């Protein structure tokens, strides 16, 4: 069966510099194994499948990495919303808000009608984020996996937004850029503590962008994610819980992907809300279609 297919670049400062997501439209009728096989074939960090809604959303979304299904993910949410709007012939001004159904719940997506660049500027409200402490002995394992040595003490929280990210702050953005992690040790750590992966961040010099972020998920088949919406949402929640927002502010820009040849920009907003810790986290960025066609599935 021929199904509409789009590959959308998300969070890129320019086309081809963000994080691509493969979006299979008209996915009704595909079996779980077929979805998993397509996701392995596209070999992207995530592949999504757009389905008819069942519980109050505009559409339902299933999200697969090359190795597993995720209940929620950030750049697939924005990329799939953009692909859905484009496939339905909707302009940004015609619809200001969508609701996505996924295993992680209902996710509101806002469309910026004032944006006049290529593609669309969208934002999503992250699902509630729960935080737990990483056991103290595991911090040594984390330091070895990241290759930080013993020059500073890591502080980490496990942040659960559907994907479970171990989030840790670094002294500065340069420290983040210099990391050469051991993917085998990171995968072992992820399996041991049921993590999707590890996200690290550090403050950049100057005022904008504010943070440099890197997300590693080798256990999910994604050694380094070029631009991670869920990971950045967890960074925002981490900062809210640890008083870090006093330093970076309640609205900040993250850069990501430079170490893998990309140049992503994500805008993170933290405001009072119902999430764990009393915060609402919104992630904004650009989405633009770079491949448009059909897939035989």
Give the per-residue pLDDT at 200: 97
Active site residues: 46
pLDDT for 150: 56
**CA–CA gap between residue 262 and residue 268 (Å, rounded):** 19
Residue 275: predicted pLDDT? 57
Asked whether this chain's domains 2-124+286-296 and 130-284 adopt the same fold, the reply is yes
| pLDDT tens, position by position, 100-123 | 999 999 999 999 988 988 899 999
Position 151 scores a pLDDT of 55
Cα angle value 56/62/68 (rounded, 5°): 145
Asked whether residue 196 carries a pLDDT value surpassing 90, the answer given is: yes
Mean pLDDT value across residues 260-280? 85
Evaluate whether 283 touches 123 at the Cβ level (below 8 Å). Answer: yes
Task: Respond yes or no on whether the N-terminal peptide bond of residue 209 is cis (omega within 30° of 0).
Answer: yes
> Which regions of the chain does DSSP assign to beta strands (E)?
2-10, 19-24, 47-51, 59-64, 69-70, 97-102, 105-111, 120-125, 130-133, 156-160, 164-169, 197-203, 211-217, 222-225, 251-256, 264-272, 279-296
Location of structure tokens 């999430």 = 275
Q: What is the CATH topology of the domain spanning 2-124+286-296?
A: Diaminopimelate Epimerase; Chain A, domain 1 (3.10.310)
Looking at residue 274, its pLDDT comes to 57
Q: How is residue 217 written in tokens? A: 């998920």
- Mean residue pLDDT across the chain: 93
Please state at what angle helix 183-192 crosses helix 136-146, rounded to 10 degrees: 160
Q: Is the pLDDT of residue 24 over 70?
A: yes
Q: 107 with 118: CB under 8 angstroms? A: no
Candidates 3.40.30.10, 1.10.3210.10, 3.30.420.40, 3.10.310.10; CATH matching 130-284? 3.10.310.10
Lookup: tokens for 104: 């992680």
With residues binned 3-state (H G I as helix, E B as strand, rest as coil), the percentages for the chain, rounded to 5, are: 25, 40, 35
With a pLDDT cut of 90, the percent of the chain lying above it is 84
Give domain limits for the chain: 2-124+286-296, 130-284
pLDDT tens per residue across span 49-102: 999 999 889 999 999 999 999 999 999 999 999 999 999 988 767 778 999 999
Pairing, β 19-24 against β 47-51: parallel
Backbone angles phi, psi at 173, to 5 degrees: -65, -35
- Pairwise CA distance, residues 117 & 39, whole Å: 30
User: Global pTM?
Assistant: 0.94
């Amino acid at each position: 069966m021929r199904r509409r297919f789009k590959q959308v670049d998300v969070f890129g400062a320019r086309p081809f510099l963000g994080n691509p997501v493969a979006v299979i439209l008209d996915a009704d009728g595909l079996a779980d194994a077929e979805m998993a096989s397509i996701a392995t074939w596209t070999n992207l960090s995530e592949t999504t499948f757009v389905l008819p809604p069942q519980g109050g959303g505009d559409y339902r979304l299933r999200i697969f990495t090359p190795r597993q299904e995720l209940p929620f993910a950030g750049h697939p949410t924005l990329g799939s919303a953009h692909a859905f709007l484009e496939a339905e012939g909707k302009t940004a001004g015609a619809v200001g808000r969508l609701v996505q159904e996924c295993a992680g719940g209902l996710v509101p997506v806002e469309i910026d009608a004032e944006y006049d660049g290529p593609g669309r500027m969208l934002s999503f409200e992250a699902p509630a984020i729960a935080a737990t402490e990483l056991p103290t002995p595991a911090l040594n394992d984390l330091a070895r996996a990241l290759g930080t040595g013993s020059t500073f003490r890591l502080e980490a929280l496990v942040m659960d937004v559907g994907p479970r990210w171990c989030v840790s702050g670094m002294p500065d953005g340069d420290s983040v850029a210099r990391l050469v992690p051991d993917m085998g040790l990171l995968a072992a750590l992820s399996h041991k503590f049921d993590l999707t992966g590890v996200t690290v961040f550090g403050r950049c010099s100057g005022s904008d962008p504010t943070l440099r972020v890197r997300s590693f998920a080798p256990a999910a088949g994604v050694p380094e994610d070029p631009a991670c919406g869920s990971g950045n949402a967890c960074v925002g929640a981490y900062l809210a819980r640890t008083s870090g927002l006093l330093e970076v502010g309640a609205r900040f820009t993250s850069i990501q992907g430079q170490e893998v040849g990309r140049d992503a920009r994500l805008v993170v907003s933290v405001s009072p809300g119902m999430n764990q810790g009393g915060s609402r986290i919104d992630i904004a960025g650009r989405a633009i279609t770079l491949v448009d066609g059909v897939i035989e599935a």
